[in-house]
């Protein structure tokens, strides 16, 4: 069977490549403790993830200065990343195959860039990626197309031969705004039904499906 694959794969991070929600919960609750608040359960933290650190703080820490809360989070988070982050099933082996095949790989996440690098190093995923974009590298975070377009420019690949893979409706919005084919996996915070309602080009059952699902040859999502 001849499987056509894209020249470049761009990935969201949390919920797509890794499950870092325990680490995020630990840092959120560290900030809440600092502000005299009770801890939040994991599900409440998961529901607030995906639109950047500032939004996470706004949703989970209703008191104090938002920028100060972000700084407390960022100081605490590197110390819990290794213990609180797991590579999702099938991700390491799939990325290894794609990387060995010559595909160009990138990460585009609304997580602060320093923390993206911390996660990739802690999970040993860093060597797979030639381009890593966080909100500091672009004028606008996701769902704006800036990260995806910046990463593709850095990788030297056109939108028509690129795929963006995420786990949330914001990822579908982002891929659509960039004119890039977008596939999603219900491995993060949102159900298959919620993802389907946002009309991605494909919903994968498992991450390794990337190796067997054929990318539309010669397509242009613009």
Query: 8-19+86-211, what's its fold?
Result: Rossmann fold (3.40.50)
The whole-number pLDDT of residue 84 equals 94
The tokens for 196 are: 């389907």
| Statement: residue 220 has pLDDT above 50 | no
Q: Give the whole-angstrom CA distance, residue 181 versus residue 175.
A: 6
Q: Give the whole-angstrom CA distance, residue 180 versus residue 198.
A: 15
Give the closest residue to 116 by CA, choosing from 142, 135, 89, 99. Answer: 135
Q: Cα dihedral sign for 136, 140, 141, 146?
A: negative
Identify whether the C-beta of residue 104 lies closer than 8 Å to the C-beta of residue 8: yes
Chain-centre distance for alpha carbon 56: 15
Q: Give the whole-angstrom CA distance, residue 156 versus residue 105.
A: 11
Tens-digit pLDDT profile for residues 71-97: 999 999 999 999 999 999 999 999 999
- pTM of whole model > 0.75? yes
φ, ψ (nearest 5 deg) of residue 85: -125, 130
Terminal C-alpha separation, the chain: 28
As beta bridge partners, residue 137 has none
Tens-digit pLDDT profile for residues 131-160: 999 999 999 999 999 999 999 999 999 999
> CB neighbours of 127 closer than 8 A, spacing ≥ 6?
99
The tokens for 171 are: 């990822």
| Statement: residue 218 has pLDDT above 70 | no
How many C-beta atoms surround the C-beta of residue 140 within 10 A?
Answer: 11
The tokens for 194 are: 């919620």
The whole-number pLDDT of residue 52 equals 86
Could you state, in order of their start, the residue ranges of all structural domains in the chain?
A: 8-19+86-211, 21-84
Residues in the chain, overall count: 222
| Statement: residue 50 has pLDDT above 90 | no
Q: Options 3.30.70, 1.25.40, 1.10.150, 3.40.50; which CATH number does 21-84 get? A: 1.10.150
In this chain, the answer to whether the domains covering 8-19+86-211 and 21-84 adopt an identical fold is no
């Amino acid at each position: 069977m001849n499987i056509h694959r894209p020249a470049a794969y761009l990935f969201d991070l949390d919920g797509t490549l890794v499950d870092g929600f325990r680490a995020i919960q630990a840092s959120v609750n560290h900030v809440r403790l600092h502000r005299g608040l009770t801890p939040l359960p994991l599900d409440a933290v998961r529901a607030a993830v995906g639109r950047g650190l500032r939004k996470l703080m706004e949703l989970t820490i209703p008191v104090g200065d938002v920028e100060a809360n972000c700084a407390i989070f960022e100081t605490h988070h590197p110390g819990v990343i290794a213990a609180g982050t797991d590579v999702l099933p099938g991700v390491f082996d799939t990325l290894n195959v794609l990387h060995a095949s010559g595909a160009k790989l990138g990460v585009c996440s609304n997580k602060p860039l320093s923390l993206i690098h911390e996660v990739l190093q802690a999970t040993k995923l860093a060597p797979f990626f030639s381009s890593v974009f966080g909100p500091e590298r672009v004028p606008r975070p996701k769902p704006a197309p800036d990260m995806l377009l910046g990463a593709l420019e850095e990788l030297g690949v056109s939108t028509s031969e690129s795929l963006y893979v995420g786990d949330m409706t914001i990822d579908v919005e982002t891929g659509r705004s960039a004119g890039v084919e977008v596939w999603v996996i219900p491995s993060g915070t949102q159900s298959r039904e919620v993802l389907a309602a946002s009309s991605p080009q494909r919903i994968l059952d498992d991450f390794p499906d990337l190796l067997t699902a054929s990318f539309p040859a010669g397509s242009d999502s613009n």
